């Protein structure tokens, strides 16, 4: 009975304190909500970046990746990118002739000049592939093949067809059926007018910038690379009966000048090249969680400090320190749970909005991932800091000299 009476007193005092200063209570709840929301969204973004990278490699449905070393930028050259695989058509044909290889894909990355009207040129990225069957086309159609590379040379007709991503479409205000001048130089771009036949996010997902995708030999032609026949990388899918590791080792012996990686090894190499970015992202997530903890604790303790004179008056009137400590704990739990719940409730629509913006600007979908574990982190911050601030308030109340505080 005594326990129930004390609990009713604790809840009554806490409720009175919270409802008496509604503005202070509201600001405290908002402060906790913002801290939880920031920590949750940043942690969800950090997790989503890593998972998105893994999924993109897995969805590429390739077993092996052949590169000639790191891709180097060459600002003084046409195309702006130094690709280290040479005679790519010959190498691809040799690979297709192997019994343990099912499919071969050749990719070339370059920078090009582009303009819808042939006057105001912008520099964008270009992706060259033998055929568009490996690209995701969301609107329109792809290009069927690469007829310009005929009989081992570049004498066949050019399709003059390209795919663009939505960022390129927005940049030039064009769509399917419109035309776009593209070339490694402005002079070459003036001569080559391509028709946009479809919208594809694949090129932008590879390169992270506005991109046009076209037949491999046509990109080599407009950037003056037909003599070296370069490629950035060659992808391989092995047959079902073949061992990926065995094929990898055999290709390493056959092409010692190139690097042959599995899907996971290529992802790891990509991650290692972005070590600074990832370290910064990891630090940002860690700082976000620490900031969330600090902001939550600060909001709760500030609320209690503002009530110090009230607690001093209650203590001087004979209210036990245990009752006051429980009152402070109930207050912080209420604020923490309300703020944490509000922050988590706002996280889902904000994550949806952020994913829409990221998808529109970059082409990657579902980067901000609110997993149950991430939501638990956000809720855990609110709960843990509520308990901690309540405990710290209890220490303060036990050491409080109420008469000295009231006289000051």
The residue out of 257, 288, 322 marking a domain boundary is 257
CA atoms within 13 A on the CB side of 276: 0
d(CA 110, CA 128): 8
The residue out of 198, 224, 257 marking a domain boundary is 257
Radius of gyration of the chain (CA): 31
Q: Give the range with max mean pLDDT: 61-70, 233-242, 351-360.
A: 233-242
Q: What is the mean pLDDT of residues 164-174?
A: 91
Question: Which is higher by pLDDT, 298 or 3?
Answer: 298
Closest by CA position to 232, among listed 207, 250, 263, 267: 207
162 DSSP β-pair partners: 196
83 and 210 both lie in a single domain: yes
d(CA 391, CA 40): 25
Residues in contact with 92: Cβ distance below 8 Å, sequence separation at least 6, in sequence order: 104, 106, 130, 231, 234
46 and 76 both lie in a single domain: no
88 and 231 both lie in a single domain: yes
Q: Please report, for residues 79, 113, 382, the alpha-carbon distance to residue 222 in angstroms, rounded to integers and kept in the order given.
A: 9, 10, 58
At 285 the pLDDT is 60
Among the residues of 307-371, which ranges form H helices?
Answer: 308-316, 321-361
180 DSSP β-pair partners: 194
Tens of pLDDT along 68-83? 765 554 444 555 556 7
The answer to whether position 162 is within a domain reads: yes
The answer to whether position 161 is within a domain reads: yes
Q: Please report, for residues 11, 17, 304, 359, the alpha-carbon distance to residue 332 in angstroms, rounded to integers and kept in the order given.
A: 12, 11, 8, 39
For residue 351 the two structure tokens come to 């994550």
314 and 224 both lie in a single domain: no
d(CA 328, CA 299): 13
Q: What is the mean pLDDT of residues 259-263?
A: 82
At 281 the pLDDT is 54
pLDDT exceeds cutoff 50 at 190: yes
82 and 199 both lie in a single domain: yes
For residue 16 the two structure tokens come to 């009175």
How buried is residue 88: exposed, middle or buried, by Cβ count under 10 Å (0-12/13-18/19+)?
buried
Place of tokens 């129930």: 4
The domain of 330 spans 2-56+276-407
21 DSSP β-pair partners: none
Q: What is the mean pLDDT of residues 370-392?
A: 79
Tens of pLDDT along 308-329? 666 666 666 666 667 767 777 7
Least confident of 45-59, 89-103, 247-261, 369-383: 45-59
pLDDT exceeds cutoff 50 at 355: yes
153 DSSP β-pair partners: 150
223 and 312 both lie in a single domain: no
Closest by CA position to 72, among listed 91, 62, 85: 85
The answer to whether position 312 is within a domain reads: yes
SS3 54: helix
Least confident of 45-49, 133-137, 200-204: 45-49
217 and 283 both lie in a single domain: no
Residue 371 backbone phi and psi in degrees, to 5: -80, 160
The answer to whether position 271 is within a domain reads: no
The residue out of 224, 257, 290 marking a domain boundary is 257
Question: Which is higher by pLDDT, 399 or 144?
Answer: 144
281 and 184 both lie in a single domain: no
Number of structural domains the chain divides into: 2
The answer to whether position 370 is within a domain reads: yes
Question: Which is higher by pLDDT, 320 or 123?
Answer: 123
117 and 196 both lie in a single domain: yes
d(CA 215, CA 128): 5
d(CA 82, CA 70): 9
Helices H / strands E in the chain, number of each? 14, 12
Tens of pLDDT along 277-307? 455 555 656 666 676 666 666 666 666 666 6
Question: Which is higher by pLDDT, 236 or 43?
Answer: 236
The answer to whether position 62 is within a domain reads: no
The answer to whether position 264 is within a domain reads: no
At 56 the pLDDT is 57
pLDDT band, residue 159 (cuts 50/70/90):
very high
- What percent of the chain has pLDDT above 90? 21
For residue 204 the two structure tokens come to 């932008």
The answer to whether position 263 is within a domain reads: no
pLDDT exceeds cutoff 80 at 60: no
188 and 296 both lie in a single domain: no
Measure CA of the first residue to CA of the last residue in the chain; give whole Å: 38
CB of 83 closer than 8 Å to CB of 109: yes
pTM to 2 decimal places: 0.60
SS3 238: strand
296 and 205 both lie in a single domain: no
283 and 166 both lie in a single domain: no
């Amino acid at each position: 009975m005594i326990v129930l009476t004390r609990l009713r007193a604790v809840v009554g005092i806490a409720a009175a304190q919270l409802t008496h200063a509604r503005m202070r209570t509201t600001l405290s709840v908002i402060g906790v909500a913002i801290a939880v929301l920031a920590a949750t969204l940043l942690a969800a973004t950090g997790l989503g970046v890593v998972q998105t990278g893994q999924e993109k490699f897995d969805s590429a449905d390739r077993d092996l990746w052949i590169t000639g070393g790191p891709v180097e930028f060459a600002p003084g050259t046409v195309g702006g990118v130094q690709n280290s695989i040479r005679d790519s058509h010959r190498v691809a044909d040799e690979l297709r002739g192997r019994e343990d290889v099912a499919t071969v894909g050749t990719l070339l990355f370059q920078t090009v000049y582009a303009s819808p009207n042939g006057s105001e040129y912008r520099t964008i990225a270009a992706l060259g592939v033998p055929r568009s069957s490996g690209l995701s086309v969301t609107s329109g159609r792809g290009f069927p093949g690469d007829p310009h590379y005929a009989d081992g040379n570049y004498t066949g007709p050019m399709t003059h067809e390209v795919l663009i991503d939505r960022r390129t479409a927005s940049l030039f205000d064009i769509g399917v059926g419109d035309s776009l001048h593209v070339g490694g130089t402005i002079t070459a771009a003036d001569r080559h007018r391509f028709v946009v036949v479809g919208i594809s996010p694949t090129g932008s997902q590879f390169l992270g910038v506005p991109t046009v995708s076209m037949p491999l030999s046509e990109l080599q032609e407009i950037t003056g690379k037909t003599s070296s026949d370069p490629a950035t990388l060659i992808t391989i899918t092995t047959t079902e009966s073949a061992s990926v590791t065995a094929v990898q080792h055999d290709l390493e012996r056959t092409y010692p000048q190139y690097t042959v990686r599995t899907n996971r090894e290529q992802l790891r190499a990509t991650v290692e090249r972005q070590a600074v970015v990832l370290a910064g992202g990891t630090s940002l997530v860690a700082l976000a969680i620490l900031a969330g903890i600090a902001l939550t604790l600060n909001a709760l303790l500030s609320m209690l400090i503002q009530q110090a004179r009230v607690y001093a008056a209650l203590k001087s009137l004979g209210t036990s320190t245990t009752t006051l400590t429980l009152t402070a704990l109930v207050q912080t739990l209420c604020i923490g749970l309300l703020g944490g719940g509000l922050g988590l409730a706002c996280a889902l629509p904000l994550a949806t909005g952020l994913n829409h913006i990221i998808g529109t600007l970059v082409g990657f979908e579902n980067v901000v991932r609110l997993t149950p574990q991430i939501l638990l982190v956000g809720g855990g911050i609110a709960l843990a800091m509520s308990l901690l601030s309540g405990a710290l308030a209890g220490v303060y109340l036990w050491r409080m000299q109420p008469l000295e505080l009231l006289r000051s």
